[in-house]
Structure 1
């Protein structure tokens, strides 16, 4: 499948977020290809978005990647436990990004399962199968994404996004998750997901 180029990411963040649905996130690890179909995302619109790390133009060692070129990974650590994978959008100096919230496993399922649960797929419960990659921390664990991939160029050959094969789906719009602190921004309908997909984190 065709890899997304930088021009894809260098556009309005809400548009890019919607168009990421159905695309396939790929991580090449030790010669193996692990991939998952993007089924849920959240858009964060920079300096005017109180839920964004770059709100009010803050530049820190963590957020500086958001001010750089589009099509780059922004990976950060939360709660002392989980990594979150984001995609920088817009032109340089416009610190906007998209959080990938959930994936549907496509390739490398055994690898993803071992990463998450340290045991073979055959031994999983239905609950564990459902929860393999239906959340930002879960998908990073399954896909082997950690802080070492922060600032990774998504137009390269290690971590990137491909065109999907199935674009025949409806898109649902909703409030973003876990941002009650963000005042009016908590009500923005900037979460997008594939309707009826069982891998979505919050329906």
Structure 2
């Protein structure tokens, strides 16, 4: 499949930005996934940053190095997928090698392949992709994508459209992480209907 040739895939160097800056720069970019069923894409409209060993909400807090978190210690721009409850979530590895930081993609606004998304997840409107587990199911992103690179197919991020205004707030679903629950590490496009909440 060669649909990706029409996209301007963001280069490896893009991911070398500091994590909090990268979490904002990802907003408006296109998340694209190619599968044997077809290609889907969506504009990233919400992200959450996780700042590594010092961040109690991060999987790598206290340098917890496990089979699951191993990819977080690799170069920036790698794919970190994991299953929480029954949902697969997708993260962008950030930070320099050995400093395990990551950015959760929380929501996307569908662009290409909407019918395929609805076949996989029979919902309409914002419910299709307005959450981290919803977007992965709709786009066919799964554990097999773990360890890939966001700067090359089949799962990649491309240039999109510049957001007009970005809002900053606290992260969601991390109530047991002490002071980290109050860190302003969630970013979203103001007024976009696909933001999770």
Q: 2 CA distance for matches of 1:156 and 1:31?
A: 19
Q: 2 CA distance for matches of 1:12 and 1:130?
A: 30
Deviations 1:39-71 (A, max 9, x none): 000000000000000001110000000001111
Q: Which residue of 2 aligns with 1:120?
A: none
Which of 141, 150, 168 aligns to 1:145? It is 141
Q: 2 CA distance for matches of 1:67 and 1:88?
A: 8
Which of 118, 127, 132 aligns to 1:131? It is 127
Q: Any gaps of 5 or more consecutive residues in structure 1?
A: 118-123
Using the TM superposition, name which of 132-141 and 28-37 deviates more. 28-37
Task: Tell me the TM-score normalized by structure 2.
Answer: 0.94
Residues 1:30 and 2:36 are matched in the alignment:
yes
Runs of 4+ that moved beyond 2 A = none
Residues 1:188 and 2:193 are matched in the alignment:
no
| Cα pair distance change 1:16/1:76, threshold 3 Å | same
Deviations 1:87-139 (A, max 9, x none): 0012110100000000000000000011112xxxxxx6xxx422000000000
What RMSD, in angstroms, separates the aligned Cα atoms of the two structures? 1.1
Which of 109, 117, 121 aligns to 1:112? It is 117
Task: Tell me the TM-score normalized by structure 1.
Answer: 0.91
Q: Any gaps of 5 or more consecutive residues in structure 2?
A: 1-6
Q: Which residue of 2 aligns with 1:51?
A: 57
Matches within 5 A, 1:164-175: 164=160, 166-175=161-170
Kept in 1, the 8 Å contact 2:27–2:163? The answer is: no
> Displacement of 1:32 after TM fit?
2.6
Q: 2 CA distance for matches of 1:168 and 1:144?
A: 25
SS of alignment partner, residue 43 of structure 1:
strand
Which of 156, 176, 197 aligns to 1:160? It is 156
